[in-house]
């Protein structure tokens, strides 16, 4: 009897361990998370407009139907990414997600304070490799560190009324996301000329 009781206690305690491990593992083993859903319908390192959510076919659950959406699925292994998003009439925001859908940074048109949101996205290692003088000359350049080499950038533009949706989509269509040309290569050019 005591042995059975001990078995049950051991089982429940072990169950706690199983629970913790499985909760922590779930984001890594999920096959239907947002990144996996968006992978087949987006191109790498390019802005892909997402079709509007409708009842029968939505790329993700709980999408806000008042927004035009575009996705830039990035891979930083080829170098940092430069993102430019022109601000739409109503409200524009840019949100950054890691490979496992953690929202690590988001900025809207007002906090960007310009007509165009311009950002450089790079891994921490790439940021550390930046030449220091370049960091100083580009003081107004906004640099975001991505915790993972791959991830998602979500561009959103609000259509305050349904009739304004084409304008919101057009402003997102003018945005770009591309791998930057290697900064060291630029420096290699002028260096021999000095001699």
Partner 1 sequence: MRLIFITLLALILATVVGLGATWLTATRGTDLGTLTIGTWTARPKTGTADVDPYSRATIARSGELPIGAGDGVAFSATTDDRKRPLDGRCDVVVSGVTPAARFWTLTLYDSKGRLVANSLERYGFTSEEIIRNTDGSFEVRVASRARAGNWLPTGGIERYALMLRLYDTPVGVATRTQRDAPMPSIATVGCP
Binding residues for partner 1 (CB under 8 A): 3-4, 7-8, 10-19, 21-24, 26-27, 30, 32-34, 36-37, 53-56, 58, 60-66, 90-91, 93, 95-97, 100-108, 110-111, 147, 152, 154, 156, 158-162
CB of 166 to partner 1, least distance (A): 15
| Tokens describing residue 83 | 């993102």
Dig out the tokens for 51 from the structure. Answer: 């079709």
Nearer to partner 1, 66 or 81 (CB): 66
Q: How far is the CB of 161 from partner 1 (least distance, A)?
A: 5
DSSP string covering the chain:
-HHHHHHHHHHHHHHHHHHHHHHHHHHHH-SSSHHHHHGGGS-BTSEEEEPPPBTTB-SSSS--TTEEEEEEEEEGGGS-EEEEEE--SS-EEEEEEETT--EEEEEEHHHHTSSEEEEEEEEHHHHHHS-HHHHHHTTT--EEEESSSEEEEEEEEE-SSGGGHHHHHHHHHT-EEEEPPPHHHHHHTHHHHH-
| Smaller CB separation from partner 1, 36 or 187 | 36
| Residue whose CB is less far from partner 1, 74 or 97 | 97
- Say if CB 99 and CB 28 are below 8 A apart: no
4 versus 139: smaller Cβ distance to partner 1: 4
Whole-angstrom Cα distance, residue 51 to residue 169? Answer: 10
Count the neighbouring beta carbons within 10 Å of the beta carbon of residue 189: 8
Looking at the Cβ atoms of 79 and 177, the one nearer to partner 1 is 177
Nearer to partner 1, 81 or 155 (CB): 155
């Amino acid at each position: 009897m005591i042995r059975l009781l001990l078995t049950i206690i051991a089982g429940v305690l072990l169950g706690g361990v199983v629970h913790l491990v499985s909760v922590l593992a779930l984001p890594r083993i999920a096959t239907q998370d947002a990144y996996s859903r968006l992978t087949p319908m987006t191109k790498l390192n390019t802005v892909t407009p997402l079709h509007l959510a409708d009842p029968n076919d939505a790329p993700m659950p709980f999408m806000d139907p008042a927004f035009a959406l575009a996705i830039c699925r990035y891979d930083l292994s080829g170098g940092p990414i430069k993102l430019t998003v022109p601000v739409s009439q109503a409200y524009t925001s840019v949100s950054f997600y890691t490979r496992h859908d953690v929202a690590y940074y988001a900025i809207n048109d007002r906090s960007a304070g310009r007509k165009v949101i311009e950002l450089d996205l790079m891994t921490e290692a790439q940021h550390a490799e930046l030449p220091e003088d370049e960091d100083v000359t580009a003081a107004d350049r906004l640099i975001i560190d991505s915790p993972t080499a791959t991830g998602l950038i979500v561009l959103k533009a609000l259509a305050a009324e349904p009739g304004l949706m084409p304008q919101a989509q057009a402003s997102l269509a003018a945005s770009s996301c591309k791998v930057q040309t290697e900064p060291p290569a630029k420096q290699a050019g002028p260096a021999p000329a000095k001699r």
